[in-house]
Structure 1
């Protein structure tokens, strides 16, 4: 269920008698964070617990006033009829958890075509357009252009993607699901050979044309992870290129996670920042630890933390630990939680009656400018890591999302979305639109060619350098962590997978279920009996 905002928490707490003893038959589970991982953990834990006929009571603490984490939908020109994704925009049809959720919750997928026939999508290296595709053109014509320029590399690259994705999808099934060690699963599926090298090295090993890698695949790693091929591992490179069947939820992808929370029956507290986790002095009858959580109102920076009145048997930390500012008491976290560097990505939405200027992309005046531009490094540029790797283009992508009618002027405008490592400036917009954009364009002045402007920034992507070991999901006795998945693959779907994984681990533990090395389910009583027979 959805409880009211944090302001009502104290009143709710006051209604709990202090002398009430916890019912050990009911396991209290706290989830910190209501993004993809936290929402998925809550939803699947309730499902798995029901299957095992065990009782769980789930409480979610979310430090913001919304569900969805890095998914965020805003209204273009402040018009509710024009929702636009400011955060995570799409997922693909092989994303089983997300796609199944849209069916289970009756969430219609967006079928709105943002492009119009004749629109150009281009890849730009800062000096020239290295590739162009026309909206509405025959697929075979685009394929012919690719094969003429790059030979069989496009075909081989697609086969590589399918092979990597196929191995990854085994993680949803027994005996690979659930997993207590992500590193173990990666090795069992032989994916460490691909995570242990850069995308550049992996493509070279598989004889993918260098120009195709730099011009096409690197454009994908930049728009998806703000990283060049030399600074992203092979698996994430393949994930960047796996875009077949891209879809989104009508009205916003956050609806998936909102529905998950609602169907989980969890108590949800918004604007509730968890400040500390500590061991409760009282343990269960079996000696298992309990945990105390303290929270404070996110909106009140001077507020003091208040102890939540109920102890928890399990804790799921469903957001990056390094950004949480949570103080963990002694023996709460028993495994070192790795700090993963994240990219700071600036996402800028704006509307304007002006199209992109052809000359900005090195085209002659009067030529047709592209509507969507992805970028790559020029052949003469040295790849670098992080924000410095953007190169001379200065941005990762510019997309014309749609045509809209400005309700104030009743004139047609274009809604744009820019990914960049730094904030967008007036001089940049002046150059790319070919019209003077004043320094005060963010104020929405009627004289500005920018009629609506919505900037934001996110710690959107981890820096996915090559590696072969990964953070395990169990970090304490009854304490679970989902963001270790980020070093392996960072998507809405993989966050939801790790949420589902820790939910299965908790349900197994509460139900007394163990699993063999081969993933076979074993009741603890059966295991003990078998051990006794052997003795």
Structure 2
């Protein structure tokens, strides 16, 4: 869907008479204009926060007389930019890379598409790859070269279920796309979800959402759940409705040639931030200086630097930083799902799949939730001049050599990586009707979960400290990390000018 960006900047919005927070309240003395920002993490969240913050502090977003001198410093534990977006280079053909983490984005991911265009990155459209679904014994579905044949077969097997689901998916995507048109920052995830009508979708498991829309169980199990398994490692009774719908919204998939991480390298390069790779932070300390709140960042090597604001742009449980002096509010325990990725250079064994055809195996083999399936997905990443392929296997547990011996006739290179890839997208019932449908035990669990999440619902968790990844329990993708980064940049911008909507510029 093409977004029509609205009117150019209106000067009266840019120079409010008084400094105000987005709540309309004046800035207290401890919320003095920010002049320096430390961003902890150089993944999608951190890179996009820096990128949009740099834009929002200059013309045409604000006139020269309101601009402040500022500095952005990015700290990254690893020796690379990209966070959970990373690649492996193929031995012997280092010009070929395979995505080890976040693999694709889609045409409606406007921030990523715009950034790739701005940085002159070459995109590869993934539209020439066939798909099959394996139940552990046979293929229950295979793409056919004829689109009409695929539609006819889908109607025969699932009736109108695909069309029902497509309608629900499109509605959710359009609601999310509406957020690109807003100029307002959101101080809480709940406010964002409510504003764009996503709160109801996160209030129920995906299986219940599908039943409520009259979707047949066979389609739910053989298609919808297959998508949620490969995208979020979750079955339908483990993921909220929004997460499930996002799994199905994969029309027009793209990759950046050479690796998606280049988008975030480009964002950081264009932010003009000072980048400190391979740097571990020991602690962040809050203190007062001249009546203003400041933050001292101390690395494990003992170096120290003072900032006016802190952006936490990585999951809190991965930071390993002493934040005790910040007096953060009670934090919920957000479970992250561990996904095992196994990369194999070799030749897939057709007999494993009872494949006797002379045709090549499908490019993407996904699996249903069954005791007989031994992995979540197997996808060809690239085909080499030797005829070998590099495939990527996803699984919930490490894949041992015994299984590889059966899956491949030969293999010359194997790499294994375990990712804490994304949070478990648990439902968050929000209305009395939602709670009424639950058992007493479920109600108690939900109430405890909601109390915990409400305590951590703010993006600005304490004055001057922003947590970009607070959005992840709502939805976790590369694109939504950039939405969260843009929102955080808007909130920080309010530290400079008070309440001042970031305009949407006409293209």
TM-score by structure 2 length? 0.83
1:292–1:307 contact (8 Å) kept in structure 2: no
Matches within 5 A, 1:215-226: 215-226=222-233
Q: CA deviation at 1:500?
A: 1.1
Matches within 5 A, 1:77-476: 77-111=91-125, 115=129, 121-134=131-144, 137-174=145-182, 177-280=184-287, 282-284=288-290, 287-296=291-300, 305-308=301-304, 310-330=305-325, 332-352=326-346, 354-358=347-351, 360-363=352-355, 369-378=361-370, 391-405=371-385, 411-433=386-408, 435=409, 449-468=410-429, 471-476=457-462
Change (3 A) 1:343 1:25: closer
Q: CA deviation at 1:348?
A: 1.1
> What is the aligned partner in structure 1 of residue 23 from structure 2?
none
- Report the 3-state secondary structure (helix = DSSP H, G, I; strand = E; otherwise coil) of the residue aligned with 2:289: coil
Change (3 A) 1:520 1:80: closer
CA distance in 2, matches of 1:26, 1:234: 38
> Structure 2: which 5+ residue stretches go unaligned?
1-31, 430-449
> What is the aligned partner in structure 2 of residue 480 from structure 1?
466
2:340–2:417 contact (8 Å) kept in structure 1: yes
Q: CA deviation at 1:415?
A: 1.3
Q: CA deviation at 1:255?
A: 0.4
CA distance in 1, matches of 2:163, 2:378: 27
Residues 269-325 of structure 1: per-residue CA shift (max 9 Å, x gap): 001111211113x424xx3310001112xxxxxxxx4141x3110000000011111
CA distance in 1, matches of 2:185, 2:479: 16
2:45–2:481 contact (8 Å) kept in structure 1: yes
Q: CA deviation at 1:111?
A: 4.2
Matches within 5 A, 1:4-43: 27-43=35-51
Q: CA deviation at 1:362?
A: 4.5
1:321–1:337 contact (8 Å) kept in structure 2: no
Change (3 A) 1:333 1:142: farther
- Report the 3-state secondary structure (helix = DSSP H, G, I; strand = E; otherwise coil) of the residue aligned with 2:391: strand
Q: Count residues in correspondence.
A: 442
Q: CA deviation at 1:127?
A: 2.8
Change (3 A) 1:413 1:491: same
CA distance in 2, matches of 1:181, 1:355: 47
CA distance in 2, matches of 1:355, 1:491: 30
Q: CA deviation at 1:83?
A: 1.5
Higher RCO (CA 8 Å, separation ≥ 6 residues): 2
2:50–2:273 contact (8 Å) kept in structure 1: yes
> What is the aligned partner in structure 1 of residue 442 from structure 2?
none
Q: CA deviation at 1:190?
A: 2.8
Change (3 A) 1:338 1:25: closer
> Which 10-residue stretch deviates more, 186-195 or 343-352?
186-195
> What is the aligned partner in structure 1 of residue 11 from structure 2?
none
Change (3 A) 1:520 1:333: farther
1:29–1:57 contact (8 Å) kept in structure 2: yes
CA distance in 1, matches of 2:191, 2:236: 26
CA distance in 1, matches of 2:297, 2:302: 9
- Report the 3-state secondary structure (helix = DSSP H, G, I; strand = E; otherwise coil) of the residue aligned with 1:340: coil
2:127–2:253 contact (8 Å) kept in structure 1: no
> What is the aligned partner in structure 2 of residue 445 from structure 1?
none
CA distance in 1, matches of 2:415, 2:488: 36
CA distance in 1, matches of 2:238, 2:115: 33
Quick check: which has more Rg, 1 or 2?
Answer: 1
CA distance in 2, matches of 1:85, 1:369: 21
> Structure 1: which 5+ residue stretches go unaligned?
1-23, 297-304, 379-390, 406-410, 436-448, 522-535
> Which 10-residue stretch deviates more, 459-468 or 233-242?
459-468
- Report the 3-state secondary structure (helix = DSSP H, G, I; strand = E; otherwise coil) of the residue aligned with 1:451: strand
1:314–1:478 contact (8 Å) kept in structure 2: yes
1:61–1:268 contact (8 Å) kept in structure 2: yes
